C-alpha cells in the first residue's frame, strides 16, 4: 500500500475516533458536508452513532448487531426467504434494514434509501444461478469494505 494512502487511512481512522470519542459538534472538525462516507463493521455501529454522524452531515453506513440497543424488531428469519428485505426508517431518516441471503444481515445507513435495489447472482441447489434483489447498501458495503 502506498505511503500516502496509508497516511490518509490513518487520518480518517483518527478523525473517526475523534468524532465518536468527543461530545463536540461534528461540524467543528472540518469533515462535515464534504461528501465523506464512513463505512464500518457491526462492532462500531449503533443508532446513536449514526444519528450523531447524520446531524454532522457525514454519510455513514455499516453492518449492525441484532442485539444492539434501540434496534427495531425485524421479521423473523424463518419467515423470510432468500432476497427478502425488511426495513424501518426513523423520523430523522435513519435506515435500519435487514436482508436475507442464506443468513440474514442487518445494516444502518443515514443516506441510503430502502427502495434503491439492485440484483445479485446466487447459485441454486442444482448449480444454476438466479438473480435475487439486494439493497444498494449491501452492494456498497461489499464494494468498499
pLDDT of 30 = 67
CB 61 within 8 A of CB 41: no
pLDDT in tens, the chain (145 residues): 444 444 444 444 444 544 444 445 555 556 667 777 888 888 878 888 888 888 888 889 999 988 888 888 999 999 999 999 999 999 888 999 999 998 999 999 998 999 999 999 999 888 899 999 999 998 888 888 7
**Number of domains making up the chain:** 1
d(CA 31, CA 72): 30
Collapsed DSSP state (helix, strand, coil) of residue 52: helix
Q: Which three cell numbers stand for residue 112?
A: 441510503
User: Residue with C-alpha cell 434509501?
Assistant: 113
Q: Give the distance from CA 142 to its chain's centroid.
A: 10
pLDDT of 18 = 44
pLDDT of 29 = 59
Q: Residue 52 sits in which domain range?
A: 3-144
pLDDT of 141 = 87
Amino acid at each position: 500500500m502506498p505511503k500516502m494512502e496509508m497516511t490518509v487511512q490513518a487520518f480518517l481512522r483518527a478523525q473517526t475516533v475523534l468524532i465518536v470519542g468527543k461530545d463536540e459538534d461534528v461540524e467543528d472538525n472540518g469533515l462535515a458536508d464534504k461528501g465523506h462516507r464512513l463505512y464500518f463493521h457491526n462492532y462500531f455501529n449503533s443508532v446513536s452513532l449514526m444519528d450523531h454522524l447524520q446531524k454532522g452531515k457525514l454519510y455513514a453506513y455499516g453492518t449492525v448487531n441484532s442485539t444492539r440497543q434501540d434496534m427495531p424488531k425485524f421479521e423473523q428469519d424463518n419467515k423470510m426467504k432468500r432476497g427478502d428485505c425488511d426495513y424501518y426508517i426513523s423520523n430523522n431518516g435513519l435506515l435500519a434494514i435487514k436482508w436475507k441471503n442464506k443468513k440474514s444481515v442487518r445494516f444502518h445507513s443515514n443516506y441510503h434509501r430502502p427502495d434503491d435495489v439492485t440484483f445479485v447472482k446466487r447459485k441454486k441447489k442444482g448449480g444454476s444461478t438466479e438473480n435475487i434483489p439486494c439493497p444498494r447498501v449491501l452492494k456498497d458495503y461489499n464494494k468498499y469494505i
